[in-house]
Structure 1
Amino acid sequence: MEFAAAAISSIASTVGSATAASGTAAAASSATAAASTGASLFSASSAFSVLSGASTVLSMLNANRAGEEKAAALNAQAEDAETQTQIENLQGTARQTSLKKQLVAQLGERDVATAASGVDLSFGTAAVARRQDVADSESALAVDQNTTDLRAARLRERAANYRIQAKQASAGGLGTAATLALEGAAKLFKRG
């Protein structure tokens, strides 16, 4: 810019004295404009650096917030799985209580019918039938308890996996934010 102002000034001095005066004024005006443009460019460069830095900071904050939001959602799913574990245990207890009530009702009906016919309940077919009903009921209770335990264990494992994913999402958000910070610093360093 200064070279252009000097060139214009040089050309103006070679023209006549009357023209030289107006050329000098034009050269001075051009020099002032060139200096102003240089200052504007410096200001624009600084403004771009500030905007780039602000953009980087906002990107970092958004990346971190996104990671935290994902972590919160995964933690909520983990809590839901833990609640489902408790519900599964309660439902298992209710099913087992129902099975026991059914056994008691079945045994009571059979005992009443057998006793009404005048047969002794302590031995023979009545005693064998009673033992078989109790064994069947105990088997059904054991299967139901194993099923309940398996479902509860699977839900606890799911909750643990959600918590691990939540930690990873949170760390991923921080990692992305750190990467954005480094990229922003590199851009500023290149810009000078």
Structure 2
Amino acid sequence: MKNILFITSSLNGHQGQSTMLGETLVSNLAANKNANVIQRDLAADDLPHLSQSEIGAWMAEPNERTEEQVALAKTSDNLVEELKNSDTIVIGMPMYNFGVPSTFKTWVDRVARAGVTFRYTENGPEGLLENKKVIIVAARGGIYAGTEHDSQTQYLKDFFAFIGIKDVSFVYAEGLNMPGSETRLAAAQKELTEITL
């Protein structure tokens, strides 16, 4: 059975376009593959900003951690385990002020772990997570894909490649706050129905 990790971060919750589009994709994929779905809503269950104390907890040997360090490390350990156990990662990605939501960045900061999801070698960093697929459903009020103002696409490709995941694809639903949004939204929805694992 395939395992799908569905990550959302819209401030509008289930009413957010990135969430609703992502739900459409996940439902289709799960129905076709009889997949197990784990959802992580980063807006509803937001993570605090990363601290030096938390990084220190990761670096301590597990059997030498204090009770506080065990608690601090647990959050990241759980997120990494979710990622490792997933075959496909679907991300509902809104654009806020030209970037990814800050809540998503706190997730990134906790799954990018030296010696766990990547390692440094003589030839530079090497990602340790392989044979996984990421599908990003990007919902945007304006139109940015392929322009110099699209700061999300390259960032997300670079991050996932850094931890070893190079199969990253995008479905863009853009111009959702502009005239003609219904047509663009329908086109994105149609594209989502054509994706298979």
- TM category (shorter chain) comes to under 0.3
* Larger helix share, 1 or 2: 1
TM-score, normalization by structure 2: 0.18
Larger radius of gyration: 1
TM-score, normalization by structure 1: 0.19
